[in-house]
């Protein structure tokens, strides 16, 4: 198989997203600059949520609203406890409300697609956990992987009316240098999480109690950390949110921390500025 030409990939994605795609990135960058100029946050943390079964979504939203904390949501179209997928029409109002509250949004791939291995000729072995190919091992090339990232980003923009960030998170944080390069070739920079930012809501509650997870987070988190939680984990019997979420936020605030969205993160500003530049023709 021939190597994928980056310019063709970008052209493919512009067709997928529509001619307004550069405007989305430029708008996100403008928001970043405005936020940076007015921010008084000196010990920032970046709380992020990946989608899940959405059973705690309303409770999470209530805590964030009560605590006046803004977060970044990474969304895939995942199976939920109620209604259709997490990016389906059942949840459209929920996403619109979060946009009105000032949260930020980015892709988590459409069908929550796990990277499994690099293959020859720029291909990848992947396994979606959602959608019609859930549980199947597939072979994708760069355009296919990019299309999955872009599909979730496009749907988020449609639901929220807000530009998505030119960032994404690979499910499970599983990547390779080749996969990251492929995503960057079509305009998406990967965001993982800090070691102390793994909040443990995916872990079995029989072994990792909510109190133990709260204590560990309050002990270990440092300024600049990217924190990871989910909008519901099927396997955890004692839900992490909202039981841990509110005392965690309150405890971190008491330590002098403040919360910002990822468009304010200094590590990603240069990338977003680069993506906002007009493409030469």
Tell me, yes or no, whether 239 lies in a domain: yes
Nearest C-alpha neighbor of 229 from the set 253, 252, 213, 251? 213
Hey, what are 185's tokens? 């070739």
Tell me, yes or no, whether 281 lies in a domain: no
Domain count, the chain: 1
- Reported as a single tens digit per residue, the pLDDT across 204-239 is 999 999 999 999 999 999 999 999 999 999 999 999
| Structural contact between residues 142 and 4, judged by C-beta atoms closer than 8 angstroms | yes
Tell me, yes or no, whether 127 lies in a domain: yes
Mean pLDDT of 111-115: 98
Host domain of residue 153: 6-276
- Reported as a single tens digit per residue, the pLDDT across 122-178 is 999 999 999 999 999 999 999 999 999 999 999 999 999 999 999 999 999 999 999
| Residues listed for the chain | 281
- List of residues 6+ apart from 20 with CB closer than 8 A: none
Q: In what order do the strands lie in the sheet with 138-140?
A: 113-119, 123-128, 138-140
What pLDDT was estimated at residue 278? 61
Mean pLDDT of 19-36: 45
Query: Higher-confidence residue: 131 or 37?
Result: 131
Average pLDDT over all residues of the chain: 89
What pLDDT was estimated at residue 41? 86
Q: Is the pLDDT of residue 19 over 90?
A: no
72-75 vs 104-107, strand pairing mode: parallel
Tell me, yes or no, whether 81 lies in a domain: yes
Q: Is the pLDDT of residue 279 over 90?
A: no
What pLDDT was estimated at residue 276? 81
- Stretch among 36-50, 62-76, 88-102 having the lowest mean pLDDT: 36-50
Tell me, yes or no, whether 56 lies in a domain: yes
Mean pLDDT of 113-127: 98
Q: Give me the CATH number covering residue 172.
A: 3.20.20.370
- List of residues 6+ apart from 109 with CB closer than 8 A: 76, 148, 149, 152, 168, 170, 171
- Model's pTM, two decimal places? 0.86
Nearest C-alpha neighbor of 149 from the set 205, 199, 111? 111
CA–CA gap between residue 272 and residue 277 (Å, rounded): 9
Hey, what are 85's tokens? 């997928």
CA–CA gap between residue 242 and residue 57 (Å, rounded): 9
Tell me, yes or no, whether 1 lies in a domain: no
What confidence tier does 39 reach under pLDDT thresholds 50, 70, 90?
Answer: low
Tell me, yes or no, whether 222 lies in a domain: yes
End-to-end CA distance of the chain: give it in Å, rounded.
27
């Amino acid at each position: 198989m021939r190597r994928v030409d980056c310019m063709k990939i970008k052209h493919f994605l512009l067709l997928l997203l529509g001619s307004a795609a550069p405007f989305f990135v430029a708008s996100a960058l403008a928001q970043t600059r405005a936020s940076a100029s007015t921010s008084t946050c000196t010990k920032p943390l970046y709380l992020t949520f990946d989608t899940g079964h959405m059973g705690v979504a309303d409770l999470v939203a209530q805590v964030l609203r009560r605590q006046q904390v803004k977060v970044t949501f990474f969304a895939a179209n995942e199976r939920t406890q109620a209604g259709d997928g997490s990016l389906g029409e059942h949840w459209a109002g929920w996403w619109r409300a979060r946009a009105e509250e000032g949260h930020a949004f980015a892709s988590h791939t459409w069908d929550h697609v796990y990277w499994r291995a690099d293959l020859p000729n720029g291909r990848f072995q992947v396994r979606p956990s959602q959608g019609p190919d859930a549980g199947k091992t597939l072979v994708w090339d760069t355009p296919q992987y990019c299309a999955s990232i872009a599909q979730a980003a496009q749907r988020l923009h449609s639901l929220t009316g807000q530009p998505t960030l030119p960032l994404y998170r690979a499910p499970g944080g599983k990547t390779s240098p080749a996969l990251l390069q492929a995503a960057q070739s079509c305009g998406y920079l990967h965001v993982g999480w800090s070691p102390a930012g793994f909040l443990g809501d995916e872990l079995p509650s029989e072994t990792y109690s909510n109190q133990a997870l709260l204590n560990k987070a309050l002990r270990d988190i440092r300024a600049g950390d990217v924190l990871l939680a989910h909008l519901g984990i099927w396997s955890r019997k004692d839900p992490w949110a909202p039981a841990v979420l509110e005392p965690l936020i309150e405890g971190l605030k008491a330590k002098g921390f403040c919360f910002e969205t990822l468009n304010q993160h200094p590590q990603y500003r240069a990338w977003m500025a680069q993506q906002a530049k007009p493409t030469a023709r």
